[in-house]
């Protein structure tokens, strides 16, 4: 008996050892598997009845890599990294090398580059120019306009305020992203509706069937804060006496539509799925991060739960739907220089996508899922840490100053990140070994002192699966995403065009081509 036990132990030890050292056979087998999967045709030329666009705000390539390591996900991939089609997006705005979130959201949702800190308008609208933003020719239609015109359901889910930069580009036209309510508009901009009013009163905002996120203080005046749900001092705080949630309700009553207003996880989980319009506002400002939220029935829902319920609510539309899901607190965490918080939010973002894949499995052949980011951040992964080391911990010592540093660092950062002291008339970087670098509150060190961690200008990746997902195949302008959605779902600009010849013939003749044609005709006549 002992003999057989020893043999079994030797066999187990052999295979465990081989897996641990990752020998030649391990990498050969992995290569064969990847080739076999790559050889399987995955081109789906069908029409996308449903489109689900996931936007990880601030989720640049370094964030994705670090989150994969941090999350220790099954098979070593985040849920969307196994999608068969991947491309690269250039994220610059119309006037900045490094963009903000509403100009990039405008590119993603409207297919047109916009100026820094403007949303839903083209580059003829300068920052804070109310009059320019009122011109009809400067106002852009979004994928929500296109979807609603085609009879599809629309909805968006965000962990930020529902009036925040990214979602605003779906339904609003503003020259300043900070005009979320009346309190932040300047005195000369009274002709321009704030973002909150555009969401509730105008098209396509008032026709959006599912709205979930935070931002109560932008929708209702003089709301009170609590320890669990404080007033967001960074954001607009309405004082004009409005109650836009009540106005939203009255609009649905007037239309004879069924509706529900939900305020916590319990109410969201128990909403009648046959309801036509659902408004979920779960916080005065942004929602709590996944690691900090109250996970009980009275708390704020997770991104995964909001996404799950949104899909259930929208699936009943026989013509399909377009849903946008934003993991907005990835960016929030990065701005404050807390890498672990950003990685945790990215893992939850991945969980929401995994849930979506499971929920749409039966409709996979007619559901286009796209995952991307609006912009990157200045997070870097550096040093030569052992693979067994936590992604958040010390990488090694600097060979020059002898001080340790962490694997994750920021290029720019606020006072908490800029960790330098003057000792004996010499500038000395703080040793991160003196702190708990793996905590949620730890601020990774930065090279340059700024008011906060600034965005990065590097390209971001786009991952896709489903009908026409193969159209993401190389380096693209960020605006390309909107046109892929249009072409795949047969809505908007490409609603009547589904082959390349139609596309080419439908393009207007350029000015240069027109001049050349005139010259040729003139020459022939003479």
In 3D space, the residue among 48, 123, 142 whose CA is nearest the CA of residue 482 turns out to be: 142
**Strand intervals (E) in 408-517:** 408-413, 420-423, 426-429, 446-449, 455-456, 460-465, 475-477
**Strand intervals (E) in 134-214:** 153-161, 210-214
Q: Alpha-carbon distance 321 to 329, whole Å?
A: 25
Q: Is 164 annotated as a binding residue?
A: yes
Q: Is 186 annotated as a binding residue?
A: no
Peptide bond preceding 204: is omega within 30 degrees of 0, i.e. cis?
yes
Catalytic residue among 67, 84, 93, 101: 101
Neighbours of 490 (CB within 10 A): 16
Q: Is 331 annotated as a binding residue?
A: yes
> Hunting for tokens 């959605």 — which residue is that?
485
**Cβ partners under 8 Å of residue 274, min gap 6:** 258, 316
Q: Is 375 annotated as a binding residue?
A: yes
Q: What is the DSSP letter of 416?
A: T
Q: Alpha-carbon distance 469 to 368, whole Å?
A: 7
Q: Is 374 annotated as a binding residue?
A: yes
CA distances 516 to 218, 504, 507, Å, are 54, 19, 17
**Cβ partners under 8 Å of residue 241, min gap 6:** 221
CB contact burial 509-523 (16+ within 10 A = b; e otherwise): eeeeeeeeeeeeeee
Q: Is 194 annotated as a binding residue?
A: no
Instruction: Give the 3-state secondary structure of residue 254.
Output: helix
**Known catalytic membership, residue 407:** no
Handedness of CA 171, 174, 176, 180 (dihedral sign): negative
Q: List residues bridging with 475 in a β-sheet.
A: 88
Q: Is 454 annotated as a binding residue?
A: no
Q: Is 366 annotated as a binding residue?
A: no
Please state the residue numbers annotated as binding site for Mg(2+): 57, 164, 166, 326
Mind telling me the catalytic residues?
A: 101
Please state the residue numbers annotated as binding site for Zn(2+): 57, 331, 335, 374-375, 455
Please state the residue numbers annotated as binding site: 57, 164, 166, 326, 331, 335, 374-375, 455
């Amino acid at each position: 008996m002992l003999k057989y036990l020893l043999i079994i132990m030797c066999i187990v030890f052999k295979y465990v050892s081989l897996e641990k050292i990752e020998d030649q056979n391990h990498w050969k087998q992995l290569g064969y598997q990847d080739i076999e999967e790559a050889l399987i045709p995955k081109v789906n030329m069908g029409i996308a009845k449903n489109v689900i666009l996931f936007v990880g705000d601030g989720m640049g390539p370094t964030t994705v890599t670090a989150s994969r390591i941090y999350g220790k996900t099954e098979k070593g991939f985040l849920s969307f990294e196994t999608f068969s089609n991947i491309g690269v997006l250039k994220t610059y705005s119309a006037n900045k090398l490094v963009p903000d979130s509403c100009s990039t959201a405008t590119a993603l949702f409207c297919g047109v580059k916009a100026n820094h800190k403007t949303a839903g308008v083209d580059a003829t609208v300068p920052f804070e120019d109310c009059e320019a933003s009122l011109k009809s020719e400067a106002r852009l239609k979004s994928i929500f306009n296109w979807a609603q015109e085609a009879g599809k359901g629309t909805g968006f889910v965000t962990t930020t305020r529902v009036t925040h930069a990214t979602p605003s580009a779906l339904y609003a036209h503003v020259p300043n992203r900070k005009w979320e309510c009346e309190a932040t508009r300047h005195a000369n901009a009274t002709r321009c509706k704030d973002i909150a009013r555009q969401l509730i009163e105008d098209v396509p905002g008032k026709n959006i069937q599912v709205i979930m996120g935070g931002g109560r203080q932008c929708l209702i005046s003089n709301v009170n804060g609590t320890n669990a749900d404080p007033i967001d001092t960074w954001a607009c705080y309405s004082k004009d006496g409005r109650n836009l949630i009540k106005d939203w309700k009255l609009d649905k009553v007037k239309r004879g539509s069924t509706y529900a207003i939900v305020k916590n996880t319990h109410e969201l989980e128990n909403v009648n799925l046959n309801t036509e319009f659902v408004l979920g506002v779960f916080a005065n400002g942004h929602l709590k991060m996944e690691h900090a939220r109250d996970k009980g029935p009275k708390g704020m829902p997770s991104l995964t739960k909001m996404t799950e319920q949104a899909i259930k609510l929208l699936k009943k539309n026989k013509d399909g739907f377009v849903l946008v899901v934003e993991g907005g607190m990835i960016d929030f965490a990065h701005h404050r220089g807390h890498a672990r918080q950003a990685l945790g939010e990215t893992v939850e973002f991945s969980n929401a996508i995994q849930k979506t894949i499971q929920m749409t499995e039966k409709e996979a052949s007619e559901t286009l899922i796209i995952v991307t980011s609006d912009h990157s951040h200045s997070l870097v992964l550096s040093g030569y840490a052992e693979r067994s080391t936590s992604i958040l911990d010390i990488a090694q010592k600097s060979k020059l100053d002898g001080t340790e540093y962490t694997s994750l660092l920021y290029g720019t950062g606020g006072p908490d990140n800029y960790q330098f002291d003057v000792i004996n008339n010499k500038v000395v970087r703080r040793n991160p070994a003196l702190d708990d670098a793996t905590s949620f509150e730890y601020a990774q060190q930065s090279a340059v002192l700024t008011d906060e961690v600034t965005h990065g200008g590097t390209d971001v990746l786009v991952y896709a699966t489903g009908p026409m997902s193969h159209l993401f195949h190389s380096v693209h302008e960020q605006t390309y995403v909107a046109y892929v959605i249009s072409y795949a779902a047969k809505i908007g600009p490409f609603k009547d065009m589904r082959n390349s010849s139609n596309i080419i013939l439908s393009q207007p003749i350029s000015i240069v081509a027109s001049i050349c044609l005139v010259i040729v005709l003139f020459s022939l006549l003479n």
